[in-house]
């Protein structure tokens, strides 16, 4: 019977925090860690759908380079025009990819949670992006430096195939969001956005301000306030003090447009990539 290694938090001599992986043999390896309290084992890390589908040998090569962290709201993964230094694999955190204009957030173009990774431009050969990525729902994630990530891509394996499939799903999400933002009402788009976020959070309740939602939908805050009041009056959501609760998911799915179902199907295929290949 094999015992899974444990990831334990400890303090380094230089004042930084590191995580020590205690192997079955008793020999360990230290991994730098940013702000994660407690323990994290391999099962925790493999909550990410891409990492979960890696063969054991491929995951073992990647694991020493993974750093665990707790992502706070608005924690920036990368900024427009600046080097992308790290790639993020969310576990419970959710990130937004946003389009910028005149130095301001204009619109969310994609959402990334435990089904994917943040840093797709690096996978596609770029070192920066005109867009930005930041945490929209706080939670756990693991990250790897762009340098170590590129090295991992140099080895043929399942990781590249999974990232190809993730790229396809993200392209569908971005293009479908364009159609949705142009063709559908704010109420319908809000339903789609809330369902998408709930899928990635994995629970009915999560933090959300009206100001943030207005940015994500590309509308003014009063429009979001009026729309949220209508949706709440229909019994689909409850909203109080920056916390939103999905009260009737089935009703919200009925209100949402086909865009939600199209994008969800793409990411469902990604989660089952190895099973279907």
d(CA 5, CA 25) in angstroms, rounded, equals: 10
Task: Give the Å distances, CA to CA, from 61 to 64, 120, 217, 252.
Answer: 7, 20, 40, 42
Tokens encoding 243: 């916390």
Of the ranges 25-29, 32-36, 69-73, 146-150, which is most confident? 146-150
Helix (H) or strand (E) holding 263: helix 258-271
**Residue range 2-8: average pLDDT?**
38
**Percent of the chain whose predicted confidence (pLDDT) is above 90:** 66
pLDDT at 245: 96
CATH label, 185-256, candidates 1.10.1130.10, 1.10.10.10, 1.20.58.220, 3.30.43.10: 1.10.10.10
pLDDT at 111: 95
Equal fold, 6-177+268-276 vs 185-256: no
Q: Domain 6-177+268-276, what architecture? A: Sandwich (2.60)
The residue with greater pLDDT, 13 or 40, is 40
**Residue range 180-189: average pLDDT?**
94
pLDDT at 3: 39
For 189-238, what is each residue's pLDDT tens digit? 999 999 999 999 989 999 998 888 888 888 999 999 999 999 999 999 99
Q: Could you give the residue ranges of the DSSP H alpha helices within 53-157?
A: 56-62, 120-123, 146-153
d(CA 205, CA 195) in angstroms, rounded, equals: 11
Which residues make Cβ contacts (< 8 Å) with residue 234, sequence separation at least 6?
A: 251, 255
pLDDT at 271: 85
pTM over 0.85: no
* Domain coordinates in residue numbering, the chain: 6-177+268-276, 185-256
Helix (H) or strand (E) holding 87: strand 86-90
Mean model confidence pLDDT for the chain = 84
pLDDT at 215: 84
Question: Given a cut of 70, is residue 26 above it in pLDDT?
Answer: no
For 239-265, what is each residue's pLDDT tens digit? 988 899 999 999 999 999 999 999 999
- Position 24 confidence tier, pLDDT thresholds 50, 70, 90: very low
pLDDT at 40: 66
């Amino acid at each position: 019977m094999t015992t899974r290694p444990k990831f334990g938090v400890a303090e380094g001599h230089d004042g930084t925090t590191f995580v020590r992986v205690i192997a079955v043999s008793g020999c360990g390896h230290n991994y730098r860690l940013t702000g994660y309290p407690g323990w994290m084992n391999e099962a925790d890390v493999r909550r990410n759908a891409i990492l979960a589908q890696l063969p054991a040998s491929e995951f073992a090569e990647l694991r020493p380079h993974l750093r665990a962290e707790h992502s706070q709201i608005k924690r920036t993964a990368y900024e427009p025009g600046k080097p992308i230094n790290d790639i993020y694999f969310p576990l419970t955190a959710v990130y937004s990819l946003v389009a910028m204009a005149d130095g301001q957030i204009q619109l969310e173009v994609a959402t990334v949670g435990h089904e994917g990774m943040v840093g797709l431009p690096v996978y596609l050969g770029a070192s920066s992006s005109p867009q930005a990525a930041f945490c929209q729902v706080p939670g756990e994630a693991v990250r790897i430096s762009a340098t170590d990530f590129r090295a991992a891509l140099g080895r043929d394996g399942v990781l590249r195939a999974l990232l190809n499939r993730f790229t396809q799903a993200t392209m569908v999400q971005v293009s479908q969001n364009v159609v949705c933002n142009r063709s559908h009402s704010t109420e319908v788009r809000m339903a789609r956005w809330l369902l998408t976020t709930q899928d990635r959070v994995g629970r009915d309740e999560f933090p959300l301000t009206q100001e943030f939602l207005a940015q994500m939908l590309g509308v003014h805050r009063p429009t979001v306030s009026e729309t949220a009041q209508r949706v709440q009056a229909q019994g689909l959501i409850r909203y109080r003090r920056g916390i939103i609760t999905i009260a009737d998911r089935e009703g919200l799915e009925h209100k949402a447009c086909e865009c939600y179902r199209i994008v969800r199907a793409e990411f469902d295929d990604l989660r089952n990539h190895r099973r279907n290949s």
